[in-house]
Amino acid sequence: MRALVNAAFSISLAIAMAAAPPHLLVSFLLSFSLALPLVAAECFTSIYSFGDSLADTGNAIRLGSLGGPTGNLPYGRTFFQRPTGRFSDGRLMIDFIAQGLGLPLVPPYLGGGSGEDFRKGVNFAVAGATALDLSFFRAKGIQATWTDRSLHVQIGLFKQLLPSIFPGHGMPMLMVMCCVMTSTEQRLNGKQYLPKRKEKLIVDKIRQICYPKDVLNSSLILMGEIGGNDYNHPFFQRRTVEEIRSFVPDVIGSISSAINELISLGAKTMLVPGNFPIGCVPVYLDIYKTENVEYYESETSCIKWLNELSQYHNRLLKEELDRLRKLHPQVKIIYANYYDAMLSFFRAPHVFGFKFPLRACCGSDGPYGVNPNAACGHINAKVCSDPSRSVSWDGIHLTEAAYGAIANSLLEGPHADPPLKQACLGIQLNDVYDF
């Protein structure tokens, strides 16, 4: 009976608050929040992830056709021995990172659950996602038929979820008020209800109360990989490299904006990956194959001009991360060097146990093991006997063995500085309520 009374009171309060002026809502919630308990943070108690299919642990498959063949074997056969919605034969980098840090595998946001279920982390990554919104591509005449779960949308979903992960989430009245306050923030943004100075103060107070910074102080934020699809989708529609290269500053700007947003919510440690050497990806090698040997890098047999685009993206990203580090010296922004980590597979495949570095394990015959008419998961597709001998799983995504090797180089070094296992040392924690 008491629970019903509390629920009824909370609903009535929410209705009254929804109609109240924003500044009165803030005053009331500020007063209420003073009675809330403080919770100390530890070292990497959770992982929150954003990105695309390289990090998607089961979101796309819950959005229907976006999951492609990942709902069927041979996807997932190596570790899970069943399909899980991951675009690989087994675990992804995020899985290895979670296990390496002693945390549970990060569940997909669309897998269902409450804030309590996501206290150790949640994954918003969706296969096909881009750093830029669909409107950017449509404005350039590109058919944007992939998911609308761009990085901006994923961050928005996280902000909606965050109040329920807050240590006071078990208090119904507080939860209702935070939902109303989040709505109030959205009402304020872009609308001149109050003088600018007061409006900013209200929004800041809303964030301090409903997105308390201790939640993210002890979390590891995985910012992707994101941005690769901003180039993949146009390339697969045969756009020129010159046009696609012009997208790079906008892609970097979107990633930077997301980083700033998460820092404002309290993020203290962020891993931000660069782009893979796409000139070494079997699907690209097949699409742009030529007899001209000058086209390829002599050491790796990867396509030069495609790798140059990846290098350009990574150079601009590193420059932007340097700028953000100066703006936020209290935050560890770690660059994940996916490019060099993956390139090492092609320079010395035997060191990692790879026998077929440029050929997909799951696909079809041909020099690169890819065929759009018999892609991995198709009834006519072929699967190699030992995926651990291959870098590429299906022509665009990697095998568990490759993901594991890259993840280890991030956990232990040298492709993350500092390595993730050392990254939480010396983190200064925010006060829960710093207003």
Rounded CA gap, 12 and 15, in Å? 5
Residue type, 79: F
Residues serving a catalytic function are: 53, 394, 397
The 10 Å CB-count burial string (b at 16+, else e) for 169-200 is bebbebbbbbbbbbbbbeebeeeeeeeeeebe
The verdict on whether omega for the bond into residue 282 sits within 30 degrees of 0, i.e. cis, is no
Nearest alpha carbon to residue 88 among 408, 405, 394, 407: 394
C-beta atoms surrounding 101 within 10 Å: 18
Show the CA angle centred on residue 118, arms to residues 117 and 121, nearest 5°: 140
Q: In 10 A of CB 67, how many CB atoms?
A: 24
* The pair of three-digit structure tokens given for residue 197, joined into one six-digit string: 């100075």
